[in-house]
Structure 1
Amino acid sequence: MPKLRLSFAIGDYDRTRPLIDGTVQIDGVDPVFMTLDPEEIFFRAFRHAEFDVCEQSLSSFTVKTALGQSAYVGIPAFVSRAFRHTSIYVRKGRGIARPEDLKGRRVGVPEYQLTACVWARALLKDDYGVEARDIVWVRGGIEQPGRAEKIALDLPEGIRLEDAPEGRSLSDLLLDGEIDAIVTPRAPSCYDRGDERVEWLFADPTAAATDYYERTGIFPIMHVVGLRNSLAADHPWLPAAILKAFTQAKAVAERRLSDTSATKVTLPFVEEQLHAARQLMGDDYWPYGVDRSRTTLQSFLTHHHQQGLSSRLITVEDLFHPATLEAHKI
């Protein structure tokens, strides 16, 4: 039987590269890989369902799944995870010294429903009592004006969401003092340039995230993998095969990272950071599969619904193909 020829759209990460370069094979599949930025993958996937298999924004995927409109079924390979204490940038000189100071402020977001924004609002609410209704949200492109939501939203009453002025980016608005902060998965260029008028809300985001993990056990999930529904229906073996391959690719990346004879990433103190991560989170600090991420997923789904983004409170099982919810053991 010939292998299935399928299109894959994923980011070029150490944990996906063994798939892209062929080190890890996918059972029964002849893949065509496209390595693209998340913004392009998500736009094309959620607007036109262009890919057979692709990285998916957890938030956008949850919106679509709750509505029963998703073209994809989820595979619990969490190719992007990140603590979002680094995602909140503030304008200096505005009297914002702590998260509670964001109440009543104007805060930019690239899209209201972005996964990073969901997690940031969740930690602001749970840890600091800052509700989404306490903030005026300003939606716009981080660097390019005119960015719109990929998915139409029906937000709850009391949520104040405005569009950025025509021709203005969030980075420019922050520098000009027309907004007080930005919540974004990408650092605004004004921060990357080292502009002294912009800083992180959390002075030591690593310490804040470590405390958050120790209290909650949550390592926020950003992206999952989606498989076209029709392919899952026609080939019931395919979801498990894809999860198996992504899991094997992550294992290859972890072995390479652990080989400290020559550092595999262009960053100092990798060995020390790897040791710290294992001390805090265990040897499998970036787990795939549902079992060890259930608490994280349930927290996300609860907040997503409370924020008015999912039309109903869905379960973890609603997100993922049944064949990926458990695995064989030897």
Structure 2
Amino acid sequence: MPTPLKVLLGDYPHTRPLKEGTVSVEGVECRYPESSPLPPAFARMVRDLAYDICELPMATYLQARDAGIPVTLLPVVLVGSTHHRSLTRLPEGPEIGPRDLVGHRVGVRAYGQTTGLWVRGWLREEYGVESSDVTWVTTEDVHVAQYVNPPYVERSKAERVADLLHSHDVSAAVLGPKAIGGQGAGLVPLVADAERAGQAWIERHGTIPANHLLVVRDEVLRDTPDAVLAVYQALKQAIADTAGERDDSPAGRAVAAGWSPGLTACMEIAGRYALQQGLVRDAVDVAAIERKTAFLDA
């Protein structure tokens, strides 16, 4: 009898083959609930363990692990890219640069948002701007209920991050890739040549920032490891089969399945950034994370 699993995945070329049944998951009866937008589903996963296998942002996973929430990372990058273009300002406003943000207010959806994790990482690394040098103005709570924001984070009543800019409540705003083309239309990056800066980050670190990964409930992994393996193998096949639908941009190249030196480096950098920014309390042991799912590609 097939093992029933509730699998929450976003809608991408590399996930549709599973949802549409063109790539089968052997021995598993997958149900694919939809969530539009996706972020509320991420909160349901880490607060209520609402799904058996679930797409999850990098920062949310790191915070969930730090809080002891029983989920295990599966080595799949569903969404990723560079984020130097994600720090934006009004085109008619002052032409401020990243270093000018010290003492200023910056909008971000939540302090635990993964795009913000990566932006604050390169701000510190390349411009010497510490997270605590800025007041981060948020429009949503973090996904992990146990986490308490640091004192330099302030909650706004605004519904959208771009609204904070247009009301002149903040000097700059962090917007994810989808928001750049939506509510962020017309905004300009603080980094003059954001694409080149992002490429320099990739060359320096030997990896591409991952935004969304995949996790499984520990109980499901323990009780039905073969079913988890089947989902992983099907998704890995779908990612390989749809490679021609992705371009050579960082976003296209980030999508991958399987532990690799690039994914290990990505996890180590994200873990270091998260610790520096107070998103997690303890250093992230990437080797321990890898060991839990080494069997997937054995």
Q: TM-score of the superposition, structure 1-length normalised? A: 0.81
Residue 231 of structure 1 corresponds to: 220
Q: 1:101 to 1:324 in 2, by over 3 A?
A: same
Residue 259 of structure 2 corresponds to: 290
Structure 2 residue identity aligned to 1:222: N
Residue 309 of structure 1 corresponds to: 279
Could you say what the CA RMSD is over the residues aligned between the two structures, in angstroms? 2.5
Structure 1 residue identity aligned to 2:63: V
Of the candidates 189, 200, 215, which is equivalent to residue 211 of structure 1?
200
1:179 aligns with 2:170: yes
Does structure 2 conserve the Cα–Cα contact (< 8 Å) formed by 1:96 and 1:102? Answer: no
Does structure 1 conserve the Cα–Cα contact (< 8 Å) formed by 2:109 and 2:160? Answer: no
Q: 1:63 to 1:325 in 2, by over 3 A?
A: farther
Tell me, what secondary structure is at the counterpart of 1:35? coil
Deviation at 1:173, TM superposition (A): 2.3
Q: TM-score of the superposition, structure 2-length normalised? A: 0.89
Residue 143 of structure 1 corresponds to: none
Correspondence 1:8-27 to 2 at 5 A: 8-27=7-26
Deviation at 1:44, TM superposition (A): 1.8
Q: 1:64 to 1:168 in 2, by over 3 A?
A: closer
Deviation at 1:290, TM superposition (A): 2.1
Deviation at 1:321, TM superposition (A): 6.3
Residue 127 of structure 2 corresponds to: 128
Deviation at 1:187, TM superposition (A): 2.7
Percent pairwise identity: 25
Distance 1:291 1:311 in 2: 26
1:192-228 superposed Cα distances (whole Å, 9 cap, x missing partner)? 2x3xxx3222343222211221222120011111112
| Aligned residue-pair number | 293
Does structure 2 conserve the Cα–Cα contact (< 8 Å) formed by 1:38 and 1:55? Answer: no
Deviation at 1:55, TM superposition (A): 0.4
Structure 1 residue identity aligned to 2:171: D
1:161 aligns with 2:153: yes
Does structure 1 conserve the Cα–Cα contact (< 8 Å) formed by 2:79 and 2:255? Answer: no
Q: 1:79 to 1:15 in 2, by over 3 A?
A: same
1:72-115 superposed Cα distances (whole Å, 9 cap, x missing partner)? 21111111112111211113455443211211111011110111
Does structure 1 conserve the Cα–Cα contact (< 8 Å) formed by 2:7 and 2:51? Answer: yes
Unpaired runs of 5+ residues, structure 1, are 141-146, 259-272
Structure 2 residue identity aligned to 1:10: L
Deviation at 1:190, TM superposition (A): 5.0
| Mean Cα deviation higher: 87-96 or 99-108 | 87-96
Distance 1:51 1:66 in 2: 20
Structure 1 residue identity aligned to 2:4: R
Residue 49 of structure 2 corresponds to: 49
Tell me, what secondary structure is at the counterpart of 2:103? coil
Distance 1:148 1:284 in 2: 30
Tell me, what secondary structure is at the counterpart of 1:237? helix
Does structure 2 conserve the Cα–Cα contact (< 8 Å) formed by 1:8 and 1:54? Answer: yes
Distance 1:34 1:221 in 2: 23
1:140-165 superposed Cα distances (whole Å, 9 cap, x missing partner)? 1xxxxxx3222242455xx511111x
Q: 1:50 to 1:321 in 2, by over 3 A?
A: farther
Q: 1:20 to 1:323 in 2, by over 3 A?
A: same
Does structure 2 conserve the Cα–Cα contact (< 8 Å) formed by 1:76 and 1:324? Answer: no
Q: 1:78 to 1:181 in 2, by over 3 A?
A: same
1:191 aligns with 2:184: yes
Q: 1:325 to 1:224 in 2, by over 3 A?
A: farther
Distance 1:253 1:200 in 2: 31
Does structure 1 conserve the Cα–Cα contact (< 8 Å) formed by 2:77 and 2:212? Answer: yes
Deviation at 1:182, TM superposition (A): 0.8
Distance 1:58 1:97 in 2: 29
Distance 1:95 1:5 in 2: 55
Unpaired runs of 5+ residues, structure 2, are none
1:248-276 superposed Cα distances (whole Å, 9 cap, x missing partner)? 11011114x28xxxxxxxxxxxxxx53xx
